Amino acid sequence: MNGKGGVAMGMQTYGSALIGLALLGGATGGAAAAELNLYTTREPGLVQPLIDAFTKASGTQVNTIFLKEGLAERVTAEGDRSPADLLMTVDAGVLVDLVERGLTQPVRSATLDAAIPETLRDDDGHWYALSMRARALYAAKDLDLASITYEDLADPKWKNRICIRSGLHPYNVALTGSFIAHHGAAEAETWLTGLKANLARPAGGGDRDVARDITGGLCDIGVANSYYVGLMRSGKGGPEQQAWAEGIKMILPTFRDGGTQVNITGGAVARHAPNRDEAVRFLEYLVSDEAQAIYARANFEYPVNAKASVDPLVGEYGVLKPDTIDIVEGVAFRKQASELTEKVGFDG
């Protein structure tokens, strides 16, 4: 297996955790107290509860740098003097890119292997999934629809009834990449053409806009990530979005010959990690029952640890059965997926 890619140098930091972290100047080390340096593209509000819980349980201080963009570029620029111990990203493609750039190192852990399915971790131990989000289907609450396949989205019966964000957005590129992995490029092109013909409006906006437009009667169904349902239903998006969520139901589609397409948040130990052992301990903590429950409560994602429970706001829509193909197989076809999306003029 492999991993994926980063972005630009736009960088934000947060919290007093940055105090004492060497920036571009060389590896930290020699500190009496156990510590580790985390570089992450996860939003601070989502990852901080996990950091706090780990520090409380272990006594290890976690120094954190939040990078909205440019994770791979940052670590590459720092070279072998990088203080980064653990790299945490929100996309499988970014993890693959980190591996291909030589920015990670292999880890062997019975704890990680026991908690994480083979299809959600690197064959050589370079990265591990920590949580999952499904590419789900939103549907009008009163629509007589209990199940659907991704292939069905191109069925003419849905003409002028589907809403979706840009086909070139990473969420949809990942879905199309998985479609290619299942059925090949020619069938994927036909599918994209059929899906485009079924759109009720031009592809665009965000996933929450899909819920808005279904509630507003513009479309009957739409493709969107699962965790947005929890965020909207919980009221974290405000009363307007809560009303959108009340007007829809969520269905977990599958491929005809597989399961539901998922993307992941994942972690990898940095190649030159000065605190490697602590980084591995943090990874192992992140797949524990306790940490997986924190993930579920904080961001309504699905745990990778089968023993952990999903938040009820998402879990009531059914049990997630992740796709049967290795997640990296879908990643391998993302470039081709983008090219096909442009070829059919999906966003036009």
Is residue 228 part of an annotated ligand binding site? yes
Paired residues of 97 in beta bridges: 4
144 by Cβ neighbours in 10 Å (0-12 / 13-18 / 19+) ranks as: exposed
Same domain, 226 and 336: yes
Tell me how many degrees the CA angle 178-286-30 measures, rounded to the nearest 5: 120
How far apart are alpha carbons 42 and 61 in whole angstroms? 18
Question: Is 285 one of the annotated binding-site residues?
Answer: no
Query: Would you state the pLDDT for residue 226?
Result: 97
Q: What is the pLDDT of residues 139-187, one digit of tens each?
A: 999 999 999 999 999 999 999 999 999 999 999 999 999 999 999 999 9
Give the residue ranges of the chain where pLDDT is below 50: 1-31
Provide the token pair at 42: 């996860």
Question: Are the beta carbons of 84 and 271 closer than 8 angstroms?
Answer: no
The CATH number assigned to the domain holding 178 equals: 3.40.190.10
pLDDT of residue 340: 98
Is residue 283 a part of any domain in this protein?
Answer: yes
User: Helix, strand or coil for residue 268?
Assistant: strand
Residue 78 forms part of a structural domain: yes
108 and 217, same domain (yes or no):
no
- Distance of alpha carbon 298 from alpha carbon 300, whole angstroms: 6
Residue 2 inside a domain? The answer is no
pLDDT for the residue numbered 3: 40
Number of structural domains the chain divides into: 2
Predicted TM-score of the model (pTM): 0.85
Q: Are residues 127 and 275 in the same domain?
A: yes
Beta bridge partners of 225: 135
Are residues 126 and 143 part of one domain? Answer: no
Query: What are 316-331's pLDDT values in tens digits?
Result: 999 999 999 989 999 9
Structural domain containing residue 201: 133-259+324-343
- Asked whether residue 4 is assigned to any structural domain, the reply reads no
Is residue 315 a part of any domain in this protein? no
What integer pLDDT is reported at residue 32 of this predicted model? 52
* Amino acid in position 278: E
208 lies in the same domain as 329: yes
> How far is 281 from 74, CA to CA, in rounded Å?
24
